[in-house]
Amino acid sequence: MSIKNIDQSNIPQHVAVIMDGNGRWAKKRGLKREKGHREGRKSVKKIVECCVELGIKNLTLYAFSTENWNRPKLEINFLMQLLFLSLKDELKNLNKNDIKFETIGNLSRLPKKIGNYLEKVKEETRGNTKLTLTLALSYGSRSEIIDVVRELSDKVKNNIISSKNIDETVINDHLYT
């Protein structure tokens, strides 16, 4: 199906993609897992381009879950390097295509070099408005809940908020998204 055949009146505002299976894809074909991750990078580029062309406003890519930290150290290092190089290679294109870059997740676990570069890309694209591309890194729903509980507990302890005022709205305001 061509993009031209898509009903433009029925375009979603937000698309989320769980980037999973690249390593298994490669292994199934007798290739190294790294080759699968490189192919995944190519797929990401196509997805972003398609979202821009369709006028989708928000794209979230679930790229590296908290569970991914259990992978072999060499593979984690490869993925972090691939992330860094991808961002470095694509920064110009993000600005050229008016794409704002954001992140969600517990970024404190990422290597400092990666964290610093993520902040640089966010800063350099913050004024872009055509598409917001959010990368979920070191993300998991359980870890997000734990982070919310910790943050709200600290606020209650420091008398910033009363526990009686914690409701669905307050919890939503503290979620990554």
| Contact call for residues 128 and 98 (beta carbons, < 8 A) | yes
**DSSP states of 26-75 as a string?**
HHHTT--HHHHHHHHHHHHHHHHHHHHHHT--EEEEEEEEGGGGGS-HHH
Cα 34 to chain centroid, rounded: 20
Tell me, yes or no, if 147 is annotated catalytic: no
Q: In terms of DSSP H, where are the helices of the chain?
A: 22-28, 33-54, 73-96, 112-125, 141-157, 168-174
CA distances from 119 to 50, 84, 107 (A): 25, 12, 10
Tell me, yes or no, if 68 is annotated catalytic: yes
Listed residue (52, 65, 56) closest to 95, CA to CA: 52
Given the structure tokens 């991914």, which residue do they identify?
Answer: 68
Write out the two tokens for 122: 């966010």
Q: Which of 5, 7, 10, 20 is catalytic?
A: 20
Q: Which of 58, 68, 106, 128 is catalytic?
A: 68
Residues catalogued as catalytic? 20, 68
